[in-house]
Chain A
């Protein structure tokens, strides 16, 4: 089926909804989403959204900007960090006006709390910067933006899976998507497309991410010749629920929670004397990994540490951390009022993604050449505002700040841009993909997608996790080549057209494989340690050779064809050693 819209937004999480709200009324716009908007993974964000409002103590956007850059181990583009920190203040106020139910101070202002890596006066100590709605801040942002979408009568195509992005004469001219309910392929012919499809945490075994987080947008762009940037910079959140990876917000430590090893030691103070448990996530994940490796992990297998909030008292726990304590009770049968909660690092967030400039325009090379009509925002994008390690809450700031900028730029763009024709055979690549996973009983197809996915997740967990080296990464590259071979022989037993989720999962697996390969290759070639990329064979940061963004390009038959490097934008803050 053919549709024509001035603009299409793909994804209905925080970034996609924010972009759509800029477009509606100014352009004929539709939003395509794999789920229902209210199911998007933005809703799983918990602890807060930072902005230097200074409601409870002195704070300045400049401090927020600095923390973001230092937190990202200086791989952050500093013009983007400046936009993030300054725009954040306006966006918080805007969302409050939309109705977002923030917790309040005694004066009735938006309440703020501490979060990892956010400091006063360039690193002196923790600052209260995170605005929050209990520990369901992401849920409230998602709800509020969706509510505005309803108010503004935004057109949604719910349960549509992105298949391809269409380009012609160097411009982006639309997307194709499959209606999950019918299996039918739809072509959306547009002047502008905004990608806001989120991340790919499902490439790892232990992850905080939803099943839906399979890197669809990144993979689709990558296959269309657009590079993926800094994919090796993948964040492992220190406090995932043991075994299943469900996120326990950093807000637990922001409110005074403490990590302890099997001996009961508050080990973070050994590694980060100033910020202790509130050091940035890459560091705390490494501290935990080291404690476990040196035999101080808790439990029968000594493979986790404990998050204690029991000393905070029931009142604080119930008012400020109700959801995460509920998770501990539900999934581990642990009572946080009195017991430490078993936790381990969990695959959480892609700092990397589709490269964009600060207006959300997608760029396709190291010279920052723009692909007209194509935008990306949120986790799928790499502005790069998170560099080598994202600070807590900055993902939500990123969504609303850059989702809005992308939407605004696209709204202006579609006013003056001419229509460009669809390319010849614009459905070909999508149809190939669909026929590939529609094979039923063909005899050469014997591979089970679940087996391949499990192998991918287990190996990524072992080899491309908190600590990496030449050997693990080389092994992973070999494994990925094998998995790609096996993927060619995937058998989908469900031959139905309506709500064929077995086929959907096979398509998602293909996306995960592409994202994992760009991640591993980037990590292998980056022979240094910086932020989330920690290599025990190259333990220090190497600004001479690697103060640069990785751009990974895909080959026709899969696999990384080429890596290029793009300089980091440094404006105010020269790279320094990162200490907390």
Chain B
């Protein structure tokens, strides 16, 4: 059963437009359709120029983070009925803030990934690993960084963060989450190197504890809590 749905999308074509502008589309959609399905319906049958990233379509690849009715979400993890699109509420789609727009809903992810790389997001261990067996780790130690292993680098947290909008140098919540994943891993020995990056003026202390990141995370990572854990581990160290 489909119902009429109204979608308002911020459009920008770098080859034609000087400024971004909204366009409105009327489509038929099932209340259980994903917002991504609705966008595909528009792209395939109404306006082929509508541009967005997408891949897995079920919230694990992180391609389609965008502002949906003002909040950062994955378009494939929000259903029409979740935002009242089936009962006449207009659905508004915009690219994430804090990122340069490339075209329509596609934003430049390069600075984001550069910040990600800056925290040395890989296991650092200076000792030789056992030759033919795993390093041991208790289930309790494994649980300490479980939440932050879920990150899919979609950028929803960083793109929802006011300090990230105002300072292009702020490392942002996503990179902090990635650093946490290693700092709290009992097998890792790179905490000092990472904390040096995070303790910088553009590191964790730029965080104003707004909780937007926690609200935005499609993987339910308690991002703000994670940032607080990093801050605390720094303060106690000093």
Query: Residues of A with Cβ closer than 8 Å to B?
Result: 35-36, 38-41, 43-44, 90, 92-93, 96-99, 101-110, 133-134, 136, 139-140, 143, 147-148, 150-151, 181, 210-212, 243-244, 246, 323, 327, 330-333, 448-450, 492-494, 496-502
Judging by beta carbons under 8 Å apart, are B142 and A494 in contact? Answer: no
Give CA–CA (A496, B98) in the complex, Å.
Answer: 25
Residues of A within 8 A of B63 (CB): 35-36, 39
Given A38-B62, A109-B136, verify A331-B79 contact (CB < 8 Å). Answer: yes
B45 to chain A, nearest CB (A): 6
Judging by beta carbons under 8 Å apart, are A211 and B57 in contact? Answer: yes
Given A496-B13, A498-B102, verify A136-B58 contact (CB < 8 Å). Answer: no
- Chain B residues touching A, majority SS: loop
Residues of A within 8 A of B139 (CB): 103-106, 108
Give CA–CA (A271, B20) in the complex, Å.
Answer: 59
Please choose the segment from B145-153, B156-164, B197-205, B224-232 that sits at the chain A interface, where 4 or more of its residues have CB less than 8 A away. B145-153
Residues of B within 8 A of A35 (CB): 55, 61, 63
Judging by beta carbons under 8 Å apart, are B135 and A96 in contact? Answer: yes
Residues of A within 8 A of B62 (CB): 38-39
B32 to chain A, nearest CB (A): 7
Given A108-B136, A212-B55, A448-B44, verify A496-B102 contact (CB < 8 Å). Answer: no
Judging by beta carbons under 8 Å apart, are B43 and A104 in contact? Answer: no
Judging by beta carbons under 8 Å apart, are A44 and B182 in contact? Answer: no
Residues of B within 8 A of A110 (CB): 134
Give CA–CA (A98, B47) in the complex, Å.
Answer: 45
Residues of A within 8 A of B32 (CB): 243, 331-333
Residues of B within 8 A of A106 (CB): 139
Judging by beta carbons under 8 Å apart, are A139 and B123 in contact? Answer: no
Residues of A within 8 A of B133 (CB): 93, 109
Is B166 part of the binding interface, using a Cβ–Cβ cutoff of 8 Å? no
Is B77 part of the binding interface, using a Cβ–Cβ cutoff of 8 Å? yes
Residues of A within 8 A of B34 (CB): 331
Judging by beta carbons under 8 Å apart, are A501 and B52 in contact? Answer: yes
Give which listed residue, B45, B55, B129, B149, contacts A140 with CB less than 8 A: B149
Query: Interface code B116-147, partner A: CB below 8 Å = 1, 0 otherwise?
Result: 01001111000001001111111100100110
Judging by beta carbons under 8 Å apart, are A93 and B132 in contact? Answer: yes
Residues of A within 8 A of B145 (CB): 101
Judging by beta carbons under 8 Å apart, are A330 and B188 in contact? Answer: no
Give CA–CA (A101, B181) in the complex, Å.
Answer: 10
Judging by beta carbons under 8 Å apart, are A502 and B122 in contact? Answer: no
Give CA–CA (A103, B142) in the complex, Å.
Answer: 7
Give CA–CA (A140, B47) in the complex, Å.
Answer: 37
Contacts A44-B60, A99-B182, A502-B43 known; 7 new A-B pairs at CB < 8 A: A39-B63, A92-B134, A93-B133, A96-B135, A104-B139, A109-B133, A448-B45
Residues of B within 8 A of A500 (CB): 51
Judging by beta carbons under 8 Å apart, are B61 and A39 in contact? Answer: yes
Give which listed residue, A41, A107, A148, A323, contacts B55 with CB less than 8 A: A41
Contact size class for B? 35 or more
Give CA–CA (A110, B138) in the complex, Å.
Answer: 10
Closest to A89 in B: B132
Give CA–CA (A251, B109) in the complex, Å.
Answer: 34
Give CA–CA (A273, B138) in the complex, Å.
Answer: 37
Give CA–CA (A492, B103) in the complex, Å.
Answer: 17
Is B56 part of the binding interface, using a Cβ–Cβ cutoff of 8 Å? yes
Closest to B133 in A: A93
Give which listed residue, B44, B47, B113, B185, contacts A36 with CB less than 8 A: B113
Is B54 part of the binding interface, using a Cβ–Cβ cutoff of 8 Å? yes
Is B187 part of the binding interface, using a Cβ–Cβ cutoff of 8 Å? yes
Query: Residues of B with Cβ closer than 8 Å to A?
Result: 13-16, 32, 34, 43-45, 47-49, 51-52, 54-63, 77, 79, 102-103, 106, 109, 113, 117, 120-123, 129, 132-139, 142, 145-146, 149-150, 152-153, 182, 185, 187-188
Residues of B within 8 A of A43 (CB): 56, 60-61, 152
Given A96-B134, A499-B106, verify A493-B48 contact (CB < 8 Å). Answer: yes
Residues of B within 8 A of A133 (CB): 149
**What 3 A-B pairs are tightest by C-beta distance, nearest first?**
A99-B123, A450-B44, A108-B136
Judging by beta carbons under 8 Å apart, are B123 and A330 in contact? Answer: no
B190 to chain A, nearest CB (A): 10
Judging by beta carbons under 8 Å apart, are A498 and B15 in contact? Answer: yes
What are 26 residue pairs bridging A and B, where the CB atoms are less than 8 Å apart in the complex? A38-B152, A40-B61, A43-B152, A92-B134, A93-B132, A99-B123, A99-B185, A102-B142, A104-B142, A108-B136, A108-B137, A109-B133, A109-B134, A109-B136, A133-B149, A139-B152, A148-B122, A210-B57, A246-B58, A330-B59, A330-B79, A493-B49, A496-B16, A496-B49, A499-B51, A499-B106
Residues of B within 8 A of A330 (CB): 59, 77, 79
Judging by beta carbons under 8 Å apart, are B122 and A327 in contact? Answer: no
Judging by beta carbons under 8 Å apart, are A108 and B138 in contact? Answer: yes
Give CA–CA (A439, B193) in the complex, Å.
Answer: 53
Given A104-B138, A140-B149, A151-B122, verify A499-B103 contact (CB < 8 Å). Answer: yes
Judging by beta carbons under 8 Å apart, are A499 and B102 in contact? Answer: yes
Give CA–CA (A493, B145) in the complex, Å.
Answer: 48
B167 to chain A, nearest CB (A): 24
Give CA–CA (A90, B48) in the complex, Å.
Answer: 48
Residues of B within 8 A of A40 (CB): 61
Judging by beta carbons under 8 Å apart, are B185 and A101 in contact? Answer: yes
Give CA–CA (A502, B49) in the complex, Å.
Answer: 7
A533 to chain B, nearest CB (A): 27
Residues of A within 8 A of B152 (CB): 38, 43, 139
B177 to chain A, nearest CB (A): 12
Judging by beta carbons under 8 Å apart, are A147 and B121 in contact? Answer: yes
Residues of B within 8 A of A502 (CB): 43, 48-49
Residues of B within 8 A of A151 (CB): 120, 122
Judging by beta carbons under 8 Å apart, are A97 and B135 in contact? Answer: yes
Judging by beta carbons under 8 Å apart, are A498 and B14 in contact? Answer: yes
Judging by beta carbons under 8 Å apart, are B113 and A99 in contact? Answer: no
Give CA–CA (A36, B51) in the complex, Å.
Answer: 17
Residues of A within 8 A of B153 (CB): 36, 38
Closest to A148 in B: B122
Closest to B36 in A: A211
Judging by beta carbons under 8 Å apart, are B60 and A99 in contact? Answer: no
Residues of A within 8 A of B47 (CB): 493
Given A44-B60, A107-B136, A499-B106, verify A39-B48 contact (CB < 8 Å). Answer: no
